[in-house]
Amino acid sequence: MNALTSLFMMTDKTVSLTQETALGVYGLSAGYGAENVVQDVTFEVRRGERLAIIGPNGAGKSTLLKAILGLIKPLKGSVQFLDRSFNAVRQHVAYVSQVDEIDWRFPGKVRDLVAMGRAVHLGLSGRLGTGDWRAVDRALRAVNLADLAERRLSDLSGGQRRRVLLARALAQDPQILIMDEPFQAIDEATRAALLEVLDDFQAEGKTAIIVHHNLGDVRALFDRAVLIDGGVTAVGTPDTVLASPAFTAAFGALEPRAA
């Protein structure tokens, strides 16, 4: 597929944003080389849900996200977003990677990185218009970083970097937000900003799918959870998953309490 073909695959104008199934993963296996890291993964996420993907270290959570998004090629299985392929709806799906996947030495400013979230909406000119910059500034305000718009990326703290990545995703104006451990090692200001953004996002009927490491607050923060341990070993409400034999097998007999 060449770049021009990829560009026009971005905009399937017939896609319905009110599809009840925001994400469907069916029989997905993925890994690196010929080695499976996750195998035969199947689950669905309903529109408007906030879903946690949990599992022990090395269980394949990040690998699963990358396969879902096409960042690595699945060994088998299929994925649908809003009943379409990812390429057909990619402007409606935003991904927030872990902070260490970004080279923060890049000589740019906060507003420049956030503006990259608008790339999927640009035409052949590739130029941001007035509406695009309004979306960028709106995203910066949402994560309380408007006053740092002109700061160099290399000068940001860890919490500020996480908020910048979230702002880049919000600038895209997505229907589905996929995040890889956004709550890990953050300060209270960043946590508060993230939770407020997620609450507002969900209030608009949008969907968040989040790899989450803190088992103690899964009940408080999420509608449903998927337990990954080489494959899907439990799925359902947080109460159901945390009380499952699969959870005990993965983490031990002590059930975590809500924070």
The domain segmentation of the chain, as residue ranges, is 3-8+19-251
Which of the four pLDDT bands, split at 50, 70 and 90, describes residue 138? very high
Q: How far is CA 90 from CA 7, 82, 87, 98, in A?
A: 10, 10, 5, 20
Non-local (6+) Cβ contacts of 184 within 8 A are 98, 213, 214
* Topology (CATH) of 3-8+19-251: Rossmann fold (3.40.50)
Judged against a pLDDT cut of 60, whether residue 257 lies above it is answered with: no
Pairing of strands 176-180, 232-236: unpaired
pLDDT in tens, 48-70: 999 999 999 989 999 999 999 99
The CB-side HSE value for 118 (13 A sphere, CA atoms) comes to 23
Which of the four pLDDT bands, split at 50, 70 and 90, describes residue 2? very low
Let me know if 190 is exposed, middle or buried by CB neighbors in 10 A (0-12, 13-18, 19+). Answer: buried
Q: What is the rounded distance in angstroms from the CA atom of residue 31 to the CA atom of residue 241?
A: 25
Nearest-10 crossing angle of helices 158-171, 188-203? 20
Range in 103-112, 146-155, 238-247 the model is least confident about: 103-112
Q: What is the rounded distance in angstroms from the CA atom of residue 240 to the CA atom of residue 144?
A: 35
The verdict on pTM exceeding 0.85 is yes
